[in-house]
């Protein structure tokens, strides 16, 4: 005899009012219950990281309630968690079509997805539209200004920052972003003075400490960068940004074992930290352990499939294995994910130069210089190419003079300076003899 179905008490409570209503109302209420059940199941699956199940449940809810935005917003998060940002973007576009006007929540989520997909111009234009409508918080405005500056758009970044600067000119976060924009613009002295002022007023403000440490590191003064990091408050000392900068500084100081130890300690507390894994892979690769670095790269890319730093480190590993073509492909993938990613640009120009592609090397070096991310060595390399092509010689002269200020006795820099001077057209001397003025007959 087949088992009989006995409805649970709570089911009877739901079904009782349905039986007392007309069929159309009962069907609508039944559908509403199904939608809520699917939403509940979808949220639970999202919380547990069960993205396939979440997508299934939330798709049911979206189909059953085609005019509701909530299932679509959750469905976009599920697609994103499942590693399908394209589907997430399409889902958000569908949700956007259901709401009149511009919804800041959807637009912000869209901009985050664009960022994850490496579609930086779309992310910026989305955020600029929200800024123009006054729908960005101060925190989001600072993030937008920083993003614009890092994409080589310092003037646009100042436009974004302008309103906050007017309203609160002495705010430490705002002044720190202003200093970063000045650095990107090449106004290093102004930026350094501004960072000093911020830290005099708020010595425990970690973002300013990190920015100044980065400035010192790029300027070749790694010991001063380390001193700044040692002044970071204890509550911030174990954050990813601080530990990653500390690892960079320790590598510059020739202490790779300490850099590796700091990152491994961070991963003990957060094993899913893709950024820390990628940094660790880079440091392991720099110590000649390519196979171990490759395993770490694979792990980082599993956690974040389009992570620019992991793609870049994969290129470094391939370079170590003498696979220049594979390395170049990896750097291009990294730049597709993050078009202004300095480490990938820094390796790419070297590969171009090694392959005899000097114009391409010059183009990449100019991109680094425009982002104010070129090292002293890279500025000298760009000046050398200007000397060889006998083009932009005044700029080349300025670049090599800047390099010689840091290393006055560097023989390669002195050679480049001599080559630029030789290629620069000499001004014609004014005549020194008597001037004969011919009159009319």
Q: Whole-angstrom distance between the N-terminal and C-terminal Cα of the chain?
A: 138
Distance CA 423, CA 383 (A): 12
Q: What is the mean pLDDT of residues 340-367?
A: 96
Q: What is the mean pLDDT of residues 3-28?
A: 51
Q: Taking every pair of C-alpha atoms in the chain, what is the biggest distance, in angstroms?
A: 138
Please state the φ and ψ torsions of residue 382, each to the nearest 5 degrees.
Answer: -65, -40
With a cut of 70, say whether residue 100 has pLDDT above it.
Answer: no
pLDDT band at residue 6 using 50, 70 and 90 as cut-offs: very low
Kindly list the domain boundaries of the chain, sorted by start residue: 32-136, 151-202, 204-271, 375-424
With a cut of 80, say whether residue 14 has pLDDT above it.
Answer: no
Lowest mean pLDDT among 28-42, 271-285, 287-301, 422-436: 422-436
**Coil, helix or strand at residue 280:** helix
Mean pLDDT (the chain, rounded): 86
Residue 8's pLDDT is 43
With a cut of 70, say whether residue 26 has pLDDT above it.
Answer: no
With a cut of 60, say whether residue 441 has pLDDT above it.
Answer: no
pLDDT digits (tens, 9 = 90+) for 165-184: 888 888 999 999 999 999 88
Please state the φ and ψ torsions of residue 377, each to the nearest 5 degrees.
Answer: -60, -40
- Mention every residue, 6+ apart, whose C-beta is less than 8 A from residue 210: 228, 229, 232, 241, 242, 245
With a cut of 90, say whether residue 382 has pLDDT above it.
Answer: yes
Distance CA 110, CA 196 (A): 36
pLDDT band at residue 102 using 50, 70 and 90 as cut-offs: low
With a cut of 60, say whether residue 303 has pLDDT above it.
Answer: yes
% of the chain surpassing 70 pLDDT: 88
Residue 268's pLDDT is 94
Residue 435's pLDDT is 57
% of the chain surpassing 90 pLDDT: 54
Q: How many CB atoms lie within 10 A of CB 133?
A: 12
Residue 245's pLDDT is 96
CATH topology of domain 204-271: 1.25.40
One DSSP character per residue, 147-160 reads HHHHTT-HHHHHHH
Residue 360: both structure tokens together: 């391409």
CB 310 within 8 A of CB 297: yes
Distance CA 150, CA 120 (A): 11
Q: What is the mean pLDDT of residues 380-384?
A: 97
Lowest mean pLDDT among 43-52, 194-203, 273-282: 43-52
Q: What is the mean pLDDT of residues 43-53?
A: 83
Same fold, 32-136 and 204-271: yes
Query: 223 or 75: which carries more pLDDT confidence?
Result: 223
Question: Nearest CA to 178 among 158, 197, 203?
Answer: 158
* pTM for this predicted structure: 0.75
Residue with tokens 């106004």: 187
Residue 28's pLDDT is 64
CATH topology of domain 32-136: 1.25.40
């Amino acid at each position: 005899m087949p088992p009989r179905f006995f409805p649970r008490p709570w089911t009877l409570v739901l079904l009782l009012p349905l039986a007392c209503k007309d069929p159309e109302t009962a069907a609508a209420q039944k559908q509403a219950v199904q939608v809520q059940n699917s939403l509940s199941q979808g949220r639970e699956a999202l919380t547990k990281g069960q993205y396939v199940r979440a997508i299934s449940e939330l798709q049911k809810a979206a189909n059953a309630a085609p005019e509701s935005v909530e299932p679509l917003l959750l469905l976009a998060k599920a697609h994103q968690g499942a590693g399908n940002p394209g589907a997430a973007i399409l889902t958000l576009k569908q949700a956007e079509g259901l709401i009149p006007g511009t919804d800041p929540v959807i637009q912000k989520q869209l901009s985050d997805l664009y960022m994850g997909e490496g579609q930086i111009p779309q992310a910026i234009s989305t955020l600029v539209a929200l800024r123009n409508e006054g729908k960005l918080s101060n925190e989001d405005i600072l993030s937008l200004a920083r993003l614009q500056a890092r994409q080589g758009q310092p003037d646009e970044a100042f436009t974004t920052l302008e309103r906050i600067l007017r309203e609160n000119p002495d705010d430490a976060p705002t002044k720190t972003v202003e200093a970063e924009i000045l650095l990107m613009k090449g106004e290093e002295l102004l930026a350094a003075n501004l960072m000093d002022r911020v830290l005099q007023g708020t010595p425990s403000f970690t973002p300013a400490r990190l920015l100044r440490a980065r400035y010192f590191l790029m300027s070749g003064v790694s010991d001063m960068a380390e001193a700044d990091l040692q002044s970071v408050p204890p509550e911030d000392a174990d954050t990813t940004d601080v530990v990653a900068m500390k690892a960079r500084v320790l590598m510059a100081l020739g202490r790779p074992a300490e850099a590796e130890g700091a990152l491994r300690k961070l991963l003990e507390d957060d094993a899913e930290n893709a950024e820390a894994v990628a940094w660790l892979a880079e440091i392991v690769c720099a110590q000649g352990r390519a196979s171990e670095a490759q395993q770490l790269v694979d792990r980082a890319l599993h956690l974040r499939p389009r992570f620019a730093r992991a793609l870049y480190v994969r290129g470094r590993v391939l370079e170590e294995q003498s696979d220049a073509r594979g390395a170049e492909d990896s750097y291009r993938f990294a730049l597709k994910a993050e078009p202004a990613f300095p480490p990938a640009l820094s390796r790419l120009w070297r590969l171009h130069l090694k392959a005899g592609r000097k114009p391409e090397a010059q183009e990449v070096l100019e991109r680094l210089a425009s982002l104010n991310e070129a090292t002293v060595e890279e500025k000298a390399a760009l000046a050398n190419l200007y000397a060889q092509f006998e083009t932009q010689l005044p700029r080349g002269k300025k670049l090599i003079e800047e390099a010689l200020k840091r290393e006055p006795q560097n023989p390669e820099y002195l050679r480049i300076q001599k080559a630029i001077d030789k290629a620069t057209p000499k001004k014609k001397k004014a005549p020194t003899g008597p001037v004969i003025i011919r009159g009319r007959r």
